Structure 1
């Protein structure tokens, strides 16, 4: 008796294989994407992992459980007081005349949590603001007014050139000379580091966002901006002799003394770019005649050791932004965000593995990235 069931067309019989091939293609594409991001397919390509490796090598020692950069610092808490002026340029709730609480960190440059404050040329302020509409804004600012280089590759090459030679414990002068020749823009930064007076305190230091961002107003208009935190405390300079004689932790001691007498304040001053100003090159400053707007005040009320403070586990990624603020196309801004993430994950792995302090024999605080 003939088979009454119709024979399915060959295309139907092949469909399971088509589906399997499609799944395999998707999985393979994802695997290739991860391999590309990790740099396995292009070992010479600059990746966040490779950059973080260079930072660790530049420190001369990995302090397990600590930040890879700006390892020494203190936690601070307080609030940002908007004055309403920023609302003209951005819809970010922080710019309204309200108090926005923050958890912050003051730190010094370098990869050692035991370094001497008098030897740290760079000082930094990081903030995590949490607004009453559920938005969050993380900032990472530095005492220098511009970066030494104009690209992420240059930033990496600077890190490699500054790594200590195992034979001397200091950077190789030939590598530094070669780096400076390849990046003539670095001369501006070198002049700043050499000639700009050092302040006596975290409290009287100005901190700069350095990278460009975009503020978006209520009409959807975007403006390129940079900002600085300008201290209300009077600036006072330190001589080299004073730095040499100062206690290795004088910044923390000074901060606690000042806070015992009341809160410390910085005005947030936003600079608006004009047509043609370099937005993607953080090694170039904008002209002084650009429009400057004071949009509020940072108020620090308390400080705590970073071993137990609330800033301990915060990654101060500068691309975590509220509505009304966007990152620019500055490649160094993107590189900072990516490297912070890798650094954070490595420190969390240090802690989870229980090996914090293995590099030094000391017990470090449990920390996250800067």
Structure 2
């Protein structure tokens, strides 16, 4: 199911390259009010590369591996959405687990953010979600997000982050406080299987009557933290997960949180109150995990705006900025594969 012949990669990338090439600019134009934004998707990805791109790899979350399994729905969301995967049924998925950063050889345990991305269904009923360990974004607008990346980027002369620049950015953006509170209290677990992964942005569920309900979702672990890991192992988390899946499938409860009329679904910096309605829609069951070169998740751009009938995006500008940056990153690595500048197994 996951196997992808290396010889098929250049052709696949060539077919997709043209379509994706203009997608990022189009979506970002919409996010910025048709040209009003001073920051482009190209600017974002240039900054993520840091002047030293790893050819053929994603510009963010470069290090990861492929997973496959099924989403087993319990049918509880059927009154709220016509999306077929929310009927009481099972939908296969291909996915990717990764760590933050642009270095595909970075040590697993040094990454500040971990991610779970899934692609379910086909055609008009495809659903793609890219979830991360933070429950909120630090800022509200693409421009502020770009400024955040600039502030956190290492100084070209020293190779280190500038604490004064970081403090100045946070002082100018008090909306970052919720994210900073989470960051200060977050303790990474000893397994990808025991993290909580958040949609961060809100989306709409749409039922058969056309009624919309704003939601966020999270993949909640169903197992406890793992055993202590070897800090000298660069692939410690990946190896632990591979060993875990070999023994038994890894499951997450897919939990949806419903917004009330008091919540702003377009602001990803604000946590919704804990008393909001929560509903478990089913389980994400990971049945297989393989290195990226042995799977087909690398061919997928996990664009969060790929939604099935029965779901829709909110007007959150950060959501559209994410989509545009993903498309630009994919365009670049597709071109690198097409020109055979990248390793065949990436």
Q: Same fold (TM over 0.5)?
A: yes
In 1, Cα distance between equivalents of 2:226 and 2:318: 31
Matches within 5 A, 1:217-296: 217-235=207-225, 245-296=231-282
Contact 2:140-2:267 within 8 A present in 1 as well = yes
Contact 2:242-2:290 within 8 A present in 1 as well = no
Look up the match of 1:96.
87
In 2, Cα distance between equivalents of 1:308 and 1:237: 27
Matches within 5 A, 1:178-197: 178-197=168-187
- Cα offset for 1:235? 3.4
Look up the match of 1:45.
38
Matches within 5 A, 1:120-139: 120-130=111-121, 135-139=125-129
Structure with more relative contact order (C-alpha pairs < 8 Å, separation 6 or more):
2
SS of the equivalent of 2:215 reads strand
TM-score (norm 1): 0.81
- Cα offset for 1:122? 0.5
- Cα offset for 1:236? 5.3
Matches within 5 A, 1:1-370: 45-57=38-50, 61-130=52-121, 135-235=125-225, 245-356=231-342, 363=343, 365-366=345-346
- Cα offset for 1:365? 3.6
* Residues 44/79 of structure 1: CA separation in 2 closer, same or farther (3 Å cut): closer
SS of the equivalent of 1:320 reads coil
| 1:291-349 deviation digits (Å, cap 9, x = unpaired) | 00111110000011112311011000000000000000111001111111111101111
In 2, Cα distance between equivalents of 1:304 and 1:192: 31
* Residues 37/270 of structure 1: CA separation in 2 closer, same or farther (3 Å cut): closer
In 1, Cα distance between equivalents of 2:246 and 2:35: 54
Contact 2:29-2:37 within 8 A present in 1 as well = no
Contact 1:151-1:281 within 8 A present in 2 as well = no
Contact 2:108-2:238 within 8 A present in 1 as well = no
Aligned alpha-carbon RMSD (Å)? 2.3
- Cα offset for 1:160? 1.1
In 2, Cα distance between equivalents of 1:331 and 1:55: 19
Structure 2 unpaired stretches of 5+: 1-24
Look up the match of 1:12.
none
Contact 2:194-2:225 within 8 A present in 1 as well = yes
TM-score (norm 2): 0.87
| 1:199-231 deviation digits (Å, cap 9, x = unpaired) | 110011111001000000111110110000101
* Residues 184/90 of structure 1: CA separation in 2 closer, same or farther (3 Å cut): same
Contact 1:118-1:246 within 8 A present in 2 as well = no
More off after superposition, 64-73 vs 245-254: 245-254
* Residues 320/50 of structure 1: CA separation in 2 closer, same or farther (3 Å cut): same
Look up the match of 1:22.
none
- Cα offset for 1:43? 11
